[in-house]
Structure 1
């Protein structure tokens, strides 16, 4: 019985130490989401017709900062959408792929285009007209990115980042610039 007790004690100790090692590795391996901001926002070719059709090209300078010290982030697909009061005005799907190393910033320019977008909601159309008279549109920018966190050539789990930037103010006159907007980032 002494030999059996020693073996059982050894197995339990081995399992406990192995479990603690796995827990420490899991806690130390927590990946950080990147930080996003809209550094600059402009608009070209703005035209909102009397029958509520919008034409415009939104020019958005998006900055991403990789806060993770271990992982590089590979952006496979990026979609940037422009909203006003929950209504989609424009989107851009021509971005990516990008690779972002530890601590690096990536700045990319998105150009979502609204081509003859009909604004059916009369309240929203009125809001857009009022903001246009004040020469400053208040928008919400959504970014969705399919990403992979990697260490060297070892691939880690893939994620979808959902980034929401609000409010993003876009000046309609050439002299009015925008202020930087910090974005909220969710990873799932």
Structure 2
């Protein structure tokens, strides 16, 4: 059975986006900051080891508007070039019925996300990551997420899009890793106890 991980940058008060889908806090040093080189490399290495990434529409639109050509932009750094190549090469599934075309090693699914994620988990082809609040919430409520990775920035935004959704039942977790990055950003990794 394939492992499904939900991992994203999150504020200390639990949001993956501030009101208005504002992500300027995500570097850890305040508005309009970018992640440290160490944290950026950690995310890049994660992409390199992910056998399939599952995206909701909004996250897909954000990623696909930048990463397909990020390595061709003036001043692109070696880490940016590496990440762009890894992102394009990584197999991806986007769950949406409103996006008309997908590209860059991606296929589109318009049917029920929980049914398709359940099917994908039965394949034995390596770990999957899931991203996007709505998509991850559906998988969370269905009990499909095996691991949670929170990369927490030391900022309170007071509202926005929450990392966790409302659940009908408790989910017991085991802490498996903690790590600190520059700027006071901390990583915590939890596995679901089954």
With normalisation by structure 2, the TM-score equals 0.24
Structure that is richer in helix per residue: 2
Q: Larger RCO: Structure 1 or Structure 2 (Cα < 8 Å, ≥ 6 residues apart)?
A: 2
Name the structure with the higher strand share: 1
TM-score, normalization: structure 1?
0.24
